[in-house]
Amino acid sequence: MQASPINNPEGPSTEQRWNTRALIVDDDLAIRELLCDYLTRFNIRATGVTDGAQMRQALSEEAFDVVVLDLMLPGEDGLSLCRWLRSTSDIPILMLTARCEPTDRIIGLELGADDYMAKPFEPRELVARIQTVLRRVRDDRSEPRTMIRFDAWRLNSVLRQLVAADGLVVPLSNAEFRLLRVFLERPHRVLSREQLLDAARGRSIEAFDRSIDLLVSRLRQKLGDDPKNPQLIKTVRGEGYLFDARELA
């Protein structure tokens, strides 16, 4: 079932007044209707769909600014749809899930999700997250072209490409890119897990130690940093991590 945007008497009276268009992908009718109704109060035109097939159809018919995607969907699940979305567009993705395992969170971020919310949540928090994600995406896209060099690597902050000395391009997820960038912006200093998680996910939240550890582990892997004796991203026991690049320009 596809839920059309629900009009709110206090909301915009014409389509031109909508500031943001959100696509809600959730098989729970009550949640879809609640979110579509609530988002209109904040100038967000929300369309609700139940599964991947309806999501693809909606995206082919209309341009959206953000996709709010449930993890536990019938048939093709949210992680698979997140992977497809990221391979076909750069639309911001905010994932919802009733599962709170750190591994699920990291997998979602690794596949390209821009943020992650655990159910149950307050609708007002979803509005804040949508606004934060869209603001961060606008800021990222407005950055000047920059090539950062460190050790044998180059990071193109516009193309979001990590390039090895031999020219090989190593793909980075959104979370990995943001994590590496904060390391590059603050080298040779200890950064707490809270600071790193905030940077990687774009908001201030309670730190899940295992989540950031998994993300650091994946970034080390892509940088060829030996996990048993890391030389680039070093663990500072009880405090966090330190980025120890020898050459940085």
Distance CA 226, CA 121 (A): 39
- Identify whether the C-beta of residue 190 lies closer than 8 Å to the C-beta of residue 247: no
pLDDT of residue 19: 82
pLDDT of residue 199: 67
pLDDT of residue 182: 86
Closest by Cα among 93, 131, 133, 96 to 111: 93
- What pLDDT digit, counting tens, does each position of 29-66 carry? 999 999 999 999 999 999 999 999 999 999 999 999 99
Q: Are strands 115-118 and 93-97 parallel, antiparallel or unpaired?
A: parallel
Helix runs in the chain, H state only = 29-39, 52-61, 78-88, 102-110, 123-141, 174-185, 193-201, 209-223
pLDDT at 89 > cutoff 50: yes
Segment among 12-21, 30-39, 166-175, 233-242 with least mean pLDDT: 12-21
Distance CA 183, CA 200 (A): 10
**What does the radius of gyration of the chain's CA atoms come to, in whole angstroms?**
19
Q: Are strands 240-243 and 44-49 parallel, antiparallel or unpaired?
A: unpaired
pLDDT of residue 207: 44
Mean model confidence pLDDT for the chain? 82
> For the chain, what's the residue count?
249
pTM: 0.57
Closest by Cα among 50, 36, 78, 202 to 128: 202
List, in order of start, the domains of the chain with CATH numbers.
Answer: 15-141 (3.40.50.2300), 147-243 (1.10.10.10)
- Identify whether the C-beta of residue 216 lies closer than 8 Å to the C-beta of residue 234: no
- What pLDDT digit, counting tens, does each position of 176-213 carry? 888 898 898 888 888 888 878 776 665 434 444 567 88
Q: In degrees to the nearest 10, what's the CA dihedral of 120, 202, 160, 215?
A: -70
pLDDT of residue 249: 66
Surface-to-core class of residue 115, CB atoms within 10 Å of its CB (0-12 exposed, 13-18 middle, 19+ buried): buried
- What pLDDT digit, counting tens, does each position of 110-164 carry? 677 888 888 888 999 999 999 988 887 776 665 554 788 888 899 988 788 899 9
